[in-house]
Amino acid sequence: MKIAIIGAGISGLSAAYDLANANHEVTIFESASKPGGLAAGFKSERWDWHLEYFYHHWFQTDNDILNLIKEIGVSDKVFFPKPTTSIYMDGQIYPFDNPLRALLFPKLSPIPKIRFGLAGLYLRLTKNWQALEKETAHQWLSRTMGKTAYQTLWQPLLIGKFGEYYQEVNMAWFWARIHKRSERLGYFMGGFQAFIDALTDTVRSRQVDLQLNSNITAIEPQADGRFQIRLSQNQPDTALFDQVLVTVSPDLFSHLVPALPNNYLANLKQLKSMGAVVVILALHHRLTNQHYWINIPKKEGFPFLALVEHTNYVHPRYYDNDHIVYCGDYLTTEHKYFTLSKEELLARFLPTLTRINPNFTADWLKESWLFRVKYAQPVPPINHSANIPPLQTPIPGLYWASMSQVYPWDRGTNYAVEIGRRVARLMISNRT
């Protein structure tokens, strides 16, 4: 078959890998100047390694991406440090990444700790997420671990991540966050972009045509069952394709294929998601002594949700001894952070870092970057499995694979690989 893939993120590249291995002719159209999607990175001219636009790591249980890495022969590039992840509360930072640290956490009395621990153990052991999706995380956690533990630990993080939607998120999403988590977190030598480049090279070696800077304006079904891909005015129209896989957001997908049935388009528009805004700082000095990831409840008054000191996870020598800090937040797409300039965001963010380290001053800042995306975190309501569009759309030969469909798992590169390879199998089996 002659197959077009829209988007050269991890899911598109993974699908292309399997489709090309099955001897199909594959063309990938990517609007950006390089592959990778949300997992892509950039590199200061001073650095040896790339850095992700949005902070990334792998768990030791992320078998889909680790198996793909093994298949393409670069497993020796993966390593698993054991960084410290923590919670900021009442002016203090508390490590909170294993059972012992949870037991020693001073903000809960013994009974709430026991209930918290038993609920966490259940979530680690159970595989019955289908039962959990019938109730919201807000309700289940309040009832099961008690309001004290919930309101102290998890409610602030749900509010921070989902804002006004936090009471709508179902418990299966929360289960997935706990069920597969590992203390050791994986990274790729050279950054995630180095992995993406290795996968891209492998895909290209299978004769896949990767067309970067290709702005798709429409996907048009033809009378003979094939598809015409329309590009922007300064680019020629493509040849016809037997099948098309689209790996973009629900909103963009609906605009690219207006021929989709109205009821299907209406379902796409009902899928909610949050955007992400990240300011990256390159500092002259270390901000914290040990903390990689610090979750910060909104009630603490910081202008962001997570503070991620990447160089407490990956050694600063790969970044010209810069100390790299992400200040990130999940926000509705109407939030003012999507229109403020980098300088305006820095004016809000930098003064609050003295609460993390009293010695911090603005002259610690060496360089900074701002990255934003409006499709970063799907919002899964009760019984969400019934809302998810199947990979095969109502139009024969047209497929859609996105992070909105990896549920109950959370978005991430591991599940991008899983869904990319799953849709490739489906496309091969449905060959006409």
* Coil, helix or strand at residue 381: coil
Residue that finishes a domain, picked among 154, 179, 204:
179
Let me know whether 8 and 144 are in one domain: no
Let me know whether 103 and 175 are in one domain: yes
Token pair recorded at residue 9: 């993120």
Asked whether residue 43 is domain-assigned, the answer is yes
Residue that finishes a domain, picked among 159, 179, 199:
179
Let me know whether 103 and 71 are in one domain: no
Let me know whether 195 and 174 are in one domain: no
Let me know whether 211 and 158 are in one domain: no
CA proximity to 38, closest of 376, 402, 414, 387: 376
Let me know whether 146 and 171 are in one domain: yes
Looking at residue 432, its pLDDT comes to 53
Asked whether residue 32 is domain-assigned, the answer is yes
Asked whether residue 325 is domain-assigned, the answer is no
Token pair recorded at residue 289: 């002594």
Let me know whether 67 and 194 are in one domain: yes
- Identify whether the C-beta of residue 324 lies closer than 8 Å to the C-beta of residue 51: yes
CATH number of the domain to which 41 belongs: 3.50.50.60
Let me know whether 207 and 70 are in one domain: yes
Handedness of CA 173, 177, 178, 180 (dihedral sign): positive
Looking at residue 4, its pLDDT comes to 97
Residue ranges making up the domain that contains 105:
98-179
Asked whether residue 375 is domain-assigned, the answer is no
Whether omega for the bond prior to residue 408 falls within 30 degrees of 0, making it cis, is: yes
Q: What is the pLDDT along the chain (432 residues), one digit of tens a residue?
A: 999 999 999 999 999 999 999 999 999 999 999 999 999 999 999 999 999 999 999 999 999 999 999 999 999 999 999 999 999 999 999 999 888 888 888 999 999 999 998 998 999 999 999 999 999 999 999 999 999 999 998 999 899 899 999 999 999 999 998 888 888 999 999 999 999 999 999 999 999 999 999 999 999 999 999 999 999 877 666 789 999 999 999 999 999 999 999 999 999 999 999 999 999 999 999 999 999 999 999 899 999 999 999 999 999 999 999 999 999 999 999 999 999 999 999 999 999 999 999 999 999 999 999 999 999 999 999 999 998 999 999 999 999 999 999 999 988 999 999 999 999 999 999 875
Residue that finishes a domain, picked among 179, 208, 239:
179
Asked whether residue 365 is domain-assigned, the answer is no
Looking at residue 98, its pLDDT comes to 84
- The owner of tokens 């991620």 is 308
Helix, strand, coil tally for the chain in percent (to 5): 40, 25, 35
Kind of pairing, strands 25-29 and 2-6? parallel
Asked whether residue 398 is domain-assigned, the answer is yes
Let me know whether 65 and 204 are in one domain: yes
Let me know whether 172 and 45 are in one domain: no
Contacts of 243 (CB under 8 A, 6+ apart): 1, 2, 3, 4, 227, 397, 398, 399, 427
Looking at residue 235, its pLDDT comes to 67
Let me know whether 254 and 403 are in one domain: yes
Looking at residue 312, its pLDDT comes to 97
Asked whether residue 279 is domain-assigned, the answer is no
CA 396 to each of CA 184, 222, 393: distance values in angstroms, whole numbers, following the listed order: 43, 11, 7
Q: How many domains does the chain have?
A: 2
Using CA atoms of 330, 421, 65, 181 in order, give the dihedral in degrees to the nearest 10.
50
Question: What residue type is 346 in one-letter code?
Answer: L
Could you tell me if residue 73 is left (phi over 0), alpha (psi between -120 and 50 degrees) or otherwise beta? left
* Beta carbons within 10 angstroms of residue 388's beta carbon: 17
Let me know whether 168 and 212 are in one domain: no
Asked whether residue 67 is domain-assigned, the answer is yes
